[in-house]
């Protein structure tokens, strides 16, 4: 396993398990409520992880296209920014939904 893969695995696990302690309630939850914080942390962690992968691939493809054909920079840049904004909006939706469900 390369350092990069190990770093992503460790950081994902840290976000998944330590975010629940930050969102813990003072009192004991009734029924299935004790897993809400875990679900919210996993939702945010997975959404951020998937969004970052999507943004990385989008930016890499756009930069490669610009590097191969510098004259196409104007035609590539604006759709790339719009795509990045849409990817980030999905992550923000997951963030909002995770906190609404708590």
Of 15, 14, 16, 36, nearest in space to 27 by CA: 36
Q: How far is CA 63 from CA 21, 79, 84, in A?
A: 39, 12, 13
Of 77, 80, 74, 72, nearest in space to 54 by CA: 80
The model's pLDDT over 30-62, given as tens digits with 9 standing for 90+, comes to 556 778 888 888 888 888 899 999 999 999 999
DSSP string, 44-63: HHHHHHHHHHHHHHHHHHHH
The stretch 15-32 carries a mean pLDDT of: 59
pLDDT of residue 25: 55
The model's pLDDT over 59-98, given as tens digits with 9 standing for 90+, comes to 999 999 999 999 999 899 999 999 999 888 888 888 888 8
pLDDT higher for 21 or 36? 36
pLDDT of residue 63: 92
User: Can you tell me the distance from the alpha carbon of 3 to that of 8, in angstroms, rounded to the nearest whole number?
Assistant: 9
Domains of the chain, earliest start first: 3-23+34-100 (1.20.20.10)
């Amino acid at each position: 396993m390369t350092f990069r893969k190990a770093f992503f695995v460790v950081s994902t696990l840290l976000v998944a398990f330590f975010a629940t302690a930050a969102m813990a309630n003072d009192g004991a939850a009734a029924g299935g409520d004790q897993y809400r914080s875990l679900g919210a942390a996993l939702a945010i962690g997975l959404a951020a992880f998937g969004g970052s992968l999507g943004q990385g691939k989008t930016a890499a493809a756009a930069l490669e296209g610009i590097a191969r054909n510098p004259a196409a920079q104007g035609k590539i840049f604006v759709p790339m920014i719009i795509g990045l904004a849409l990817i980030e909006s999905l992550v923000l939706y997951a963030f909002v939904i995770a906190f609404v469900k708590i």
